[in-house]
Structures are given as C-alpha cells and as structure tokens.
Chains A and B, each alone.
Chain A
C-alpha cells in the first residue's frame, strides 16, 4: 500500500541546501522540519517550515550587507 506524505519539495543550490540542513540540525528534535534529504540539491520538508526557511535565508543574506551611515 503506497504511503503518501504531504510536505514541501525544496530545490536549490548546494550551499543553500547545506544552510538549510544546518538550520535543521540546530533545532531541537521536536522542531526538526526536514522529512527526507533527497540529494545534495533537493529535500522534502514539512509544509509549515517554508516561511521560516525563507526568513532565515533573508537574515543570512542581510548579514553580508553594509549600509553606509546616512
């Protein structure tokens, strides 16, 4: 009997995948969101984690920005 799991399919590049994996590792077991790590550019995560992943990625991106003081 085929098993179906509902979730979010993520495809990205290798660095981003590693970032998401490290994000997952930093959370306590009850909040881990990766269901399956498919290969080094794809993964299957819980549906509600999408927004949180996006926020963390923008935070990460903003770490590299320097805003000239006005």
Chain B
C-alpha cells in the first residue's frame, strides 16, 4: 500500500513543476482535478472543499484563524502545496498608487493605446538606432553624449580614426528580446544615476512603481519629486512614458514598455508581431518599415532590395561568415528568426524551414573543422607499468589527449607538462 502512495506523490511534484499556463489548461479535465484532490494532504483537501463555493478571495489571515496555534506548520504546508499546484492563487492586494489618474473633466485629448504603442516603439527604435550608429538617425534623442557613451560601453568600441564598430556583445544585444534590452539599458542607467545626483534606491522604486500604473492613463507631473522629474524626461526619450502638455499642467502617460517592466522580470509574455518570412530557398522577406530591423538583418543576411514596406534579403554563406566573424552564433540567428517569424508562417511547424536552420548550423561548424591543442608528446617509456601509470595520471589531471598503447606513446595537454615531469621523475 505505501508503494502505491509514492508514485502519485512524485507525479504531483512533476505536475506542480509545470509552467502555470500548462497547469491551468490541465485543470479543465475533470479526472485531473479529482486526481489532484486525492493527492493532497488531508488539511489541504479540507481547505479546498471549504472554499469550493466561495467566489471571492479569502484572506490568508482568515484561514490562519481556522487553525489551532500548534498545528500551524501543517497549515503552512497545506497552503504551500495548494499554491504549488495552483489550486489556490495568491491575489496580492498591491499597495494603492499614491497618484490618481487624470479626471476626465480636463479636456485634453489622450492618445489611444495604439498611438501610445506606436510612440513607444518609435522612441525605442530611435534610441537603439542612435546607440549603434548615430549617422542613421534623423532625430537624435536628447540624451547627452556622455549618457550615450555609458550605454554604448561594452556594446560598441570606438576607435578614434575609424567609425564606431559593434562588439560581439553589441551584436548579441541587438538580437535579444525587447525587454531584455530594456532591462540592460535600465541597469546601465541606474548604475550611473549616483554620478548624476539621483538617489539609486529612489530611482529603482520609482521605476517599479511606474510599472504598476495603468497604461494609457495620464498622471499629473506635479506629483513627482525632483529626482523623478529628471528621470521621467529620460524615460520619455526611451519610450517608456509619453509626456503631454496641458494648458496649465503637464502629464505623463505610461506606455506598454513601462508596465511590462515588472512583468518581464519573470517571464516573457509580451510578443511583438513577427515580420520575417524565411523561404526554403534561403530568401528572406521582412515586412517592416523600421531602419533598426534593416540594420539587424544586415548583420547576417545580404539585403537585396528595400521597398517601402518590405525588405528582401538572402541568407548566404558569405553573409553568415561575416556574422560568425563578428561573434554571433548560429543559435542566436535561428532564435531571432523564429521569434520574429511572420504570423502567417509562425503557425507552421517549424516556423523557419529546417533546411535553412540546418545549413546555418553546418556553415558554423564548417568554420571549426580542426581542433588544435598545445600539447606534449611522450615516448620511450621504460616499461608498460610506468606508461599505464602515466596514462592514468594524465586522465586524473584532465589533460589526457591521445595514447597509443602498442607503441607506448602518450599525448597530454601542454598546461600539465610540469606535473607530468614531476610524476615521471617520481617514478624513477
């Protein structure tokens, strides 16, 4: 009997480890619900049955009062199990915002959500373009050159005579997802905030507070402290908020980029519209108007035509070799293509044709056909025993490369030569 109990417990652990969305979809199956109910510890079962017909959230404090003080640990274990299995979900009553959205009586036209998204995207792309290549941007952002240098540190190497060139990290940065990029920029911004007279802690708490505001609602600027006022101007340049001037007062409107700040801490839920179609003949069609996208595609494919709403390119061996030379890996390229696949092809499995992905990987491995290691070649061993001892010792050190036991020859990594010498001297 105890044997039977073990199996469901482990299965439930596995189930509890599934991602939230999968788990939620499993709960639509009645048999699954019953199985979960059966597997719960008795206290949890009781809680579930009690709460079955209650629609509203029950406060944790109230549940604690159901329990005698000395069985508190059992109560805690039961609640934890229920939370793990997502039978209970915590709804945090987050701290209420200290500022109210603008009353609708003020007659100033608020941008619609689409306009806001477009604004945020445009600002962010402008910023990224300026980051990588200032000559491409029509309207430079109002970041001071020193700020831009801070952001570019690690992404771009600027030598005096040559044009600025993207480093390996820079390429990887461009191919990352938007919120990863956002967080990188935020980190750089926050880490230099002390130098500009802004309190880091206040800045961080303001950023996180901003992410809990409602997208599209305008908030009055006079509720911001000085530090926050400076910050908000920078955030507007990045596209996190939109500033709007009323007749007497100015307002700021958080965009989706801002509200996604806290969401993107855990998982990547925001999915932009894909725009890339890759065909089996290695041609690439990108339905995009953005210069940034063109630059990113130029990194690894040969752009053939640029039309008003379409970029046509081809993935060629040469273009990929330049990409690999610049430090981009085939996995990054393939991930980028898959994540930005046009909705029409995204439904097909696989979104990017396998022959293209395979060929990209093959071209990458073609560059590393030969492996070279600095090593030492040992021969003329006096006896088989010493030879075998040396082989084992080399394996222990982790420097073993090759052996020929018939001719008693051994090859060991160059770094271990000193240890091998000592070992062989000891064998005399």
Measured CB to CB, the residues of A under 8 A from B are: 1-13, 16, 20, 35-36, 38, 42, 44, 47, 50, 53-54, 57, 61, 65, 67
A67 CB to nearest B CB, Å: 6
> A65–B374 contact, CB under 8 A?
no
10 interchain pairs (CB within 8 A)? A2-B380, A4-B417, A4-B420, A7-B376, A8-B374, A10-B370, A11-B371, A12-B370, A36-B409, A65-B318
**Chain B residue at minimum C-beta to C-beta distance from A50:** B372
> A35–B370 contact, CB under 8 A?
no
> B421–A9 contact, CB under 8 A?
no
A61 to B370, CA, bound (A): 13
A23 to B158, CA, bound (A): 40
Given A2-B424, A67-B318, answer yes or no on A13-B369 (Cβ-Cβ < 8 Å): yes
B376 CB to nearest A CB, Å: 5
A16 to B372, CA, bound (A): 13
> A35–B377 contact, CB under 8 A?
yes
**Chain B residue at minimum C-beta to C-beta distance from A13:** B369
> B379–A2 contact, CB under 8 A?
yes
A47 to B152, CA, bound (A): 39
Asked whether B283 is an interface residue with its Cβ less than 8 Å from the other chain, the reply is: no
Asked whether B366 is an interface residue with its Cβ less than 8 Å from the other chain, the reply is: yes
B363 CB to nearest A CB, Å: 10
Asked whether B298 is an interface residue with its Cβ less than 8 Å from the other chain, the reply is: no
The digit string for B397-410, where 1 denotes a CB below 8 A from any CB of A, is 00001101000010
**Chain B residue at minimum C-beta to C-beta distance from A6:** B376
A32 CB to nearest B CB, Å: 16
Number of interface residues of B (CB under 8 A): 29
A67 to B318, CA, bound (A): 8
> A4–B377 contact, CB under 8 A?
yes
Select one of B369, B376, B390 contacting A5, CB under 8 A.
B376
A8 to B409, CA, bound (A): 15
Asked whether B381 is an interface residue with its Cβ less than 8 Å from the other chain, the reply is: yes
Given A3-B378, A36-B377, answer yes or no on A8-B372 (Cβ-Cβ < 8 Å): yes
Asked whether B317 is an interface residue with its Cβ less than 8 Å from the other chain, the reply is: yes
> A6–B414 contact, CB under 8 A?
yes
B413 CB to nearest A CB, Å: 8
Q: Which residues of chain A are within 8 angstroms of B381 by Cβ–Cβ distance? A: 2
A35 to B192, CA, bound (A): 56
Other than the known A12-B370, A36-B377, what 9 A-B pairs have Cβ atoms closer than 8 Å? Answer: A1-B380, A2-B382, A4-B417, A4-B421, A6-B417, A8-B372, A9-B372, A10-B372, A38-B402
Q: Which residues of chain B are within 8 angstroms of A11 by Cβ–Cβ distance? A: 370-371, 373, 402
A54 to B65, CA, bound (A): 74
A5 to B376, CA, bound (A): 5
B375 CB to nearest A CB, Å: 4
Q: Which residues of chain B are within 8 angstroms of A44 by Cβ–Cβ distance? A: 375, 377, 411
Within 8 A of A (CB), among B323-382: 366, 369-382
A6 to B386, CA, bound (A): 20
A1 to B386, CA, bound (A): 11
Given A7-B377, A38-B404, answer yes or no on A1-B370 (Cβ-Cβ < 8 Å): no
Select one of B369, B377, B386 contacting A12, CB under 8 A.
B369
Q: Which residues of chain A are within 8 angstroms of B411 by Cβ–Cβ distance? A: 9, 38, 44
> B369–A57 contact, CB under 8 A?
yes
> A16–B375 contact, CB under 8 A?
no
